[in-house]
Amino acid sequence: MLLTRYGFREWMIITLAAASIAAAGVFFSWWWLVGVAAVVWLALASFFRDPLFRKPATDDPRDLVSPADGLVSAVVEVGEHPSTVGPATIVRIYLSVLDVHVNRSPCEATVLNTIHTPGKYLDVRIEESAKVNESLVMRLLSPGGINLGVKQISGKIARRIVCPVEAGQRLRRGERYGMIKFGSTTELVVPTSELEKVCVAKGERVTGGVTVLVRMKRI
Protein backbone atom coordinates (compact mmCIF):
# COMPACT_ATOMS: atom_id res chain seq x y z
CA MET A 1 0.00 0.00 0.00
CA LEU A 2 1.34 3.39 -1.03
CA LEU A 3 0.21 6.98 -0.55
CA THR A 4 -0.75 8.52 -3.87
CA ARG A 5 1.44 11.20 -5.39
CA TYR A 6 -1.71 13.23 -6.06
CA GLY A 7 -1.99 13.89 -2.34
CA PHE A 8 1.69 14.65 -1.67
CA ARG A 9 1.07 18.12 -0.27
CA GLU A 10 -1.76 17.01 1.99
CA TRP A 11 -0.11 13.97 3.48
CA MET A 12 3.13 15.87 4.06
CA ILE A 13 1.15 18.51 5.99
CA ILE A 14 -0.61 15.75 7.94
CA THR A 15 2.71 14.06 8.73
CA LEU A 16 4.40 17.27 9.90
CA ALA A 17 1.42 18.24 12.06
CA ALA A 18 1.17 14.78 13.63
CA ALA A 19 4.92 14.68 14.25
CA SER A 20 4.81 18.08 15.98
CA ILE A 21 1.94 17.02 18.21
CA ALA A 22 3.63 13.71 19.03
CA ALA A 23 6.90 15.52 19.86
CA ALA A 24 5.03 17.77 22.28
CA GLY A 25 3.48 14.70 23.86
CA VAL A 26 6.87 13.08 24.34
CA PHE A 27 8.38 16.29 25.78
CA PHE A 28 5.63 16.61 28.39
CA SER A 29 5.27 12.84 28.84
CA TRP A 30 1.67 13.05 27.63
CA TRP A 31 1.67 9.63 26.02
CA TRP A 32 -2.05 9.81 25.34
CA LEU A 33 -1.33 12.76 23.04
CA VAL A 34 1.18 10.68 21.11
CA GLY A 35 -1.49 8.03 20.67
CA VAL A 36 -4.03 10.59 19.48
CA ALA A 37 -1.54 12.01 16.96
CA ALA A 38 -0.86 8.51 15.58
CA VAL A 39 -4.56 7.66 15.23
CA VAL A 40 -5.37 10.98 13.54
CA TRP A 41 -2.43 10.56 11.14
CA LEU A 42 -3.57 7.06 10.17
CA ALA A 43 -7.16 8.22 9.65
CA LEU A 44 -6.25 11.20 7.44
CA ALA A 45 -3.38 9.58 5.55
CA SER A 46 -5.52 6.55 4.69
CA PHE A 47 -7.66 8.78 2.48
CA PHE A 48 -4.65 9.13 0.16
CA ARG A 49 -3.86 5.41 0.06
CA ASP A 50 -3.07 3.85 -3.30
CA PRO A 51 -3.35 0.03 -3.37
CA LEU A 52 -0.76 -1.86 -5.39
CA PHE A 53 -1.04 -4.83 -7.75
CA ARG A 54 -4.57 -4.28 -9.00
CA LYS A 55 -5.43 -6.30 -12.10
CA PRO A 56 -8.59 -6.19 -14.26
CA ALA A 57 -10.99 -9.06 -13.54
CA THR A 58 -10.79 -10.18 -17.20
CA ASP A 59 -8.24 -9.97 -19.99
CA ASP A 60 -10.84 -8.99 -22.61
CA PRO A 61 -10.12 -5.37 -23.66
CA ARG A 62 -13.83 -4.92 -24.43
CA ASP A 63 -14.52 -5.13 -20.68
CA LEU A 64 -14.26 -1.61 -19.26
CA VAL A 65 -13.10 -1.60 -15.65
CA SER A 66 -14.33 0.70 -12.93
CA PRO A 67 -12.59 4.10 -12.82
CA ALA A 68 -13.09 4.26 -9.03
CA ASP A 69 -13.75 2.35 -5.82
CA GLY A 70 -17.20 2.77 -4.34
CA LEU A 71 -20.88 1.97 -4.66
CA VAL A 72 -22.83 1.97 -7.93
CA SER A 73 -25.43 4.66 -7.29
CA ALA A 74 -27.11 4.71 -10.72
CA VAL A 75 -27.11 3.24 -14.22
CA VAL A 76 -28.87 5.63 -16.58
CA GLU A 77 -29.23 6.42 -20.27
CA VAL A 78 -29.17 9.94 -21.67
CA GLY A 79 -29.93 11.32 -25.12
CA GLU A 80 -26.53 12.97 -25.48
CA HIS A 81 -23.32 13.59 -23.57
CA PRO A 82 -20.13 15.64 -24.19
CA SER A 83 -18.09 12.42 -24.10
CA THR A 84 -19.94 10.53 -26.82
CA VAL A 85 -21.63 10.82 -30.18
CA GLY A 86 -25.36 10.25 -29.71
CA PRO A 87 -27.12 8.52 -26.77
CA ALA A 88 -24.93 7.44 -23.86
CA THR A 89 -25.10 5.02 -20.94
CA ILE A 90 -23.74 6.23 -17.61
CA VAL A 91 -22.58 4.09 -14.71
CA ARG A 92 -22.35 6.36 -11.66
CA ILE A 93 -20.17 5.50 -8.64
CA TYR A 94 -20.46 7.08 -5.20
CA LEU A 95 -17.23 7.34 -3.22
CA SER A 96 -17.44 7.85 0.54
CA VAL A 97 -14.57 9.33 2.55
CA LEU A 98 -13.57 5.74 3.42
CA ASP A 99 -13.05 4.65 -0.20
CA VAL A 100 -9.83 4.80 -2.23
CA HIS A 101 -10.09 8.01 -4.26
CA VAL A 102 -7.51 7.39 -6.97
CA ASN A 103 -9.16 7.27 -10.41
CA ARG A 104 -8.17 4.78 -13.11
CA SER A 105 -8.66 4.55 -16.86
CA PRO A 106 -11.45 2.11 -17.83
CA CYS A 107 -9.62 0.88 -20.92
CA GLU A 108 -6.67 1.52 -23.18
CA ALA A 109 -7.39 4.90 -24.73
CA THR A 110 -6.06 8.24 -25.91
CA VAL A 111 -7.04 11.43 -24.11
CA LEU A 112 -8.87 13.79 -26.47
CA ASN A 113 -9.34 16.64 -23.99
CA THR A 114 -10.84 17.57 -20.64
CA ILE A 115 -13.91 19.71 -19.99
CA HIS A 116 -14.12 21.52 -16.66
CA THR A 117 -17.56 22.78 -15.63
CA PRO A 118 -17.94 25.08 -12.59
CA GLY A 119 -20.93 24.34 -10.39
CA LYS A 120 -22.39 23.76 -6.97
CA TYR A 121 -21.09 21.61 -4.11
CA LEU A 122 -24.14 19.61 -3.11
CA ASP A 123 -23.83 16.43 -1.07
CA VAL A 124 -23.02 13.71 -3.64
CA ARG A 125 -25.68 11.45 -2.13
CA ILE A 126 -28.26 13.82 -3.63
CA GLU A 127 -29.05 12.69 -7.19
CA GLU A 128 -29.15 16.25 -8.50
CA SER A 129 -25.47 16.72 -7.56
CA ALA A 130 -24.37 14.67 -10.59
CA LYS A 131 -25.93 17.30 -12.85
CA VAL A 132 -25.19 20.60 -11.07
CA ASN A 133 -21.95 20.13 -9.11
CA GLU A 134 -18.52 21.19 -10.31
CA SER A 135 -17.17 18.48 -12.60
CA LEU A 136 -14.45 17.51 -15.03
CA VAL A 137 -15.03 15.23 -18.01
CA MET A 138 -12.03 13.42 -19.51
CA ARG A 139 -12.92 12.56 -23.11
CA LEU A 140 -11.26 9.41 -24.43
CA LEU A 141 -10.85 7.71 -27.80
CA SER A 142 -10.52 3.93 -27.86
CA PRO A 143 -8.11 2.13 -30.24
CA GLY A 144 -11.12 1.35 -32.48
CA GLY A 145 -12.25 4.98 -32.63
CA ILE A 146 -15.03 4.90 -30.01
CA ASN A 147 -15.66 8.08 -28.03
CA LEU A 148 -16.21 7.58 -24.30
CA GLY A 149 -15.39 9.38 -21.10
CA VAL A 150 -14.94 9.51 -17.36
CA LYS A 151 -16.54 12.28 -15.33
CA GLN A 152 -15.21 13.38 -11.94
CA ILE A 153 -17.79 15.22 -9.82
CA SER A 154 -16.98 17.23 -6.71
CA GLY A 155 -19.06 17.08 -3.55
CA LYS A 156 -19.92 18.99 -0.41
CA ILE A 157 -16.54 18.19 1.14
CA ALA A 158 -14.60 17.15 -1.96
CA ARG A 159 -13.77 20.40 -3.69
CA ARG A 160 -10.58 19.61 -5.54
CA ILE A 161 -10.58 17.56 -8.71
CA VAL A 162 -7.14 16.35 -9.79
CA CYS A 163 -6.73 15.25 -13.42
CA PRO A 164 -3.19 16.01 -14.70
CA VAL A 165 -3.60 14.56 -18.21
CA GLU A 166 -2.90 16.15 -21.58
CA ALA A 167 -4.51 15.81 -25.00
CA GLY A 168 -2.83 13.00 -26.93
CA GLN A 169 -1.73 11.15 -23.80
CA ARG A 170 -2.12 7.36 -23.96
CA LEU A 171 -3.60 5.58 -20.95
CA ARG A 172 -3.40 1.88 -20.22
CA ARG A 173 -6.37 -0.13 -18.96
CA GLY A 174 -6.50 0.43 -15.19
CA GLU A 175 -3.81 3.12 -15.19
CA ARG A 176 -4.04 5.83 -12.52
CA TYR A 177 -4.81 9.28 -13.91
CA GLY A 178 -6.06 11.45 -11.02
CA MET A 179 -8.30 11.65 -7.97
CA ILE A 180 -11.00 13.68 -6.24
CA LYS A 181 -10.09 14.75 -2.73
CA PHE A 182 -12.65 13.54 -0.16
CA GLY A 183 -16.24 12.28 -0.80
CA SER A 184 -17.23 12.44 -4.47
CA THR A 185 -18.75 10.78 -7.53
CA THR A 186 -17.16 9.28 -10.65
CA GLU A 187 -19.03 8.32 -13.82
CA LEU A 188 -18.14 6.03 -16.71
CA VAL A 189 -19.82 7.22 -19.92
CA VAL A 190 -20.08 5.01 -23.01
CA PRO A 191 -22.04 5.26 -26.29
CA THR A 192 -25.19 3.14 -25.99
CA SER A 193 -24.90 2.00 -29.61
CA GLU A 194 -21.53 0.36 -28.89
CA LEU A 195 -22.60 -1.22 -25.59
CA GLU A 196 -23.09 -5.00 -25.42
CA LYS A 197 -24.15 -5.19 -21.77
CA VAL A 198 -23.91 -3.52 -18.37
CA CYS A 199 -22.23 -5.87 -15.90
CA VAL A 200 -23.19 -4.18 -12.61
CA ALA A 201 -26.37 -2.93 -10.95
CA LYS A 202 -27.28 -0.16 -8.54
CA GLY A 203 -26.13 -0.96 -5.01
CA GLU A 204 -23.12 -3.10 -5.99
CA ARG A 205 -19.67 -2.31 -4.65
CA VAL A 206 -16.92 -1.97 -7.25
CA THR A 207 -13.14 -1.81 -7.17
CA GLY A 208 -11.21 0.65 -9.31
CA GLY A 209 -9.14 -0.99 -12.04
CA VAL A 210 -10.61 -4.41 -11.25
CA THR A 211 -14.41 -4.67 -11.48
CA VAL A 212 -15.87 -4.82 -15.00
CA LEU A 213 -18.66 -2.25 -15.35
CA VAL A 214 -19.64 -2.76 -18.99
CA ARG A 215 -18.74 -4.92 -21.98
CA MET A 216 -18.50 -3.18 -25.34
CA LYS A 217 -19.27 -4.71 -28.73
CA ARG A 218 -15.78 -3.65 -29.77
CA ILE A 219 -13.04 -1.41 -28.46
What angle (nearest 5°) sits at the alpha carbon of residue 200, between those of residues 68 and 138?
40
Round to whole Å and give the CA distance between 151 and 146: 17
Please give the pLDDT value at position 124.
Answer: 78
Q: Cβ of 2: how many Cβ atoms within 10 Å? A: 10
Residue 130 CA: distances (Å) to CA of 24, 49, 96, 148, 162: 44, 25, 15, 17, 17
Mean pLDDT score of the chain, rounded to an integer? 92
| Of 46, 96, 184, 193, catalytic | 184
List pLDDT tens digits, range 173-209: 999 999 987 668 999 999 999 999 999 999 999 999 9
Round to whole Å and give the CA distance between 143 and 133: 31
Please give the pLDDT value at position 13.
Answer: 87
Segment 54-64 mean pLDDT: 96
**DSSP annotation of 81:** -
**DSSP annotation of 133:** B
Residue 214 CA: distances (Å) to CA of 49, 91, 106, 145: 26, 9, 10, 17
Q: Cβ of 219: how many Cβ atoms within 10 Å? A: 21
Q: What angle separates helix 8-27 from helix 31-45, to the nearest 10 degrees? A: 170
Is pLDDT of 153 > 90? yes
List pLDDT tens digits, range 60-112: 999 999 999 999 999 999 999 999 989 999 999 999 888 998 999 999 999 99
| Record: fold of 63-216 | Glucose Permease (Domain IIA) (2.70.70)
Annotated catalytic residue 142: no
Is pLDDT of 150 > 90? yes
* Contact predicate 211/66, CB 8 Å: yes
Is pLDDT of 148 > 90? yes
Please give the pLDDT value at position 149.
Answer: 97
Is pLDDT of 144 > 80? yes
Confidence of residue 9 (pLDDT cuts 50, 70, 90): confident
